[in-house]
Structure 1
Amino acid sequence: MTPAVLRFATYRITKHPDTDVTYEAECLAHECGWKATPSTDGAAVDVDCMSHTSRTGHAGFRRLCTSFAFVVRDE
């Protein structure tokens, strides 16, 4: 019987170097359908949400932060 050879590799996850985090938001009011313009500036999306609240009284939002990543071998 041939002995087994085990090799372990360590990996890490890292931010994709050519992308930024994208922030988005959408109103949770029933049948509103409002969405903030996606932006790399989270504060700008927050301001859009506050402006929507001041116009409509809708106070609930779903916020998303999207980033892209690579898993690379840690050497």
Structure 2
Amino acid sequence: MIRSVYRFEDLSIEHVPEGGVIWEVFCAAYQCGQGSGPQDDQEPAQRWALSHSGATSHNLFRRVVTDHADVMYADAPAAEKERDSLLPR
């Protein structure tokens, strides 16, 4: 007989500013597939989309914004300390 124990905890998820944000824009025109590549700032990705649109008349783009998130136990401040020790300095 297999027995299981379930533990229910309150968790929270938060943006980690130290992890940064990555911006990327992809052309969504049929069979185009070109993209800005990953950018550390929104401006270069948008500039690429405007330039690509001007050169090709493509006007539909998909924007992808990636950030880092930290999932923590709601009542465990030690989890924050552990996360901070894992981030690059």
- Which is greater in Rg? 1
Inter-partner Cα distance in structure 2 for 1:8 and 1:29? 45
Q: Which runs of 5+ in 1 are unaligned?
A: 1-6
Q: Which runs of 5+ in 2 are unaligned?
A: 1-6, 76-89
With normalisation by structure 2, the TM-score equals 0.66
Identity %: 32
With normalisation by structure 1, the TM-score equals 0.76
Alignment map for 1:1-75 (pairs within 5 Å) = 9-16=9-16, 18-75=18-75
The number of residue pairs the alignment matches comes to 69
Greater per-residue helix proportion: 2
Q: Render the CA deviation track for 1:18-69: whole Å, top value 9, x for unaligned.
A: 4111111111111112111211211221111001011111110011111121
Higher relative contact order (CA 8 A, sep 6+): 1
